[in-house]
Amino acid sequence: MRALTIVAVLLASGARSLCAQHGGQIEIGGFGSYTRYDSRFQLDNQFGVGGWLGYFLGDHFSLEVDGNLAQPRSTFSGVGSTTAAFASASLVMSSGGFYILGGYSRLHMGPGAPYTSDLNAVHAGLGERIFFAPDHAAVRLEARAYYRGPGAGFGGRDEVVHFTGNVGMTFFVGPGGGQKSRRY
């Protein structure tokens, strides 16, 4: 109940500060990322790149897909690096520039041993859109955690958690308009 109250207050407080987020709009952008992999994967933390595409169902809710690609080096001697690709689908709740998201992710690692694997996970994140360029562009900052519960393939009892931070540009296209065209 407390979480629902917090979400309701955030949405209500941001209702007058909505800039570019309107039902029917599309959000598209790219980002740089930094991922901290679960220590059991024995991978160095690594920078990567990615992109997202979202569709606003209304002023406060959107559906989003994103992908993130990195090539972390193994901490094993002589193993080299692997390719780590995250693909995610999220429900995003926005209030002004602040947003929270959650959804499903799939992590593919490979192509070479010992890292060839696929991992299904859930994710949750917090972010901020800092709007500029007459309400149709924003810098987007986000922190996200990926979680795979027991049975992830490391002895059957272990949980897997990865953390990612993203910084990127996002653009809003489609119907809607800036705050000037809306009356509250």
Q: Alpha carbon of 58 to those of 20, 31, 93, 154, 156: distances in Å?
A: 11, 24, 10, 41, 41
For 22-60, what is each residue's pLDDT tens digit?
788 999 999 999 999 988 888 889 999 999 999 999 889
Domains in the chain (CATH in brackets) are 2-175 (2.40.160.20)
Partners of residue 110 on adjacent β-strands: 83
Taking each continuous run of H as one helix and of E as one strand, the counts in the chain are: 1, 8
State the pTM of this model. Answer: 0.77
What is the reported pLDDT for 102? 97
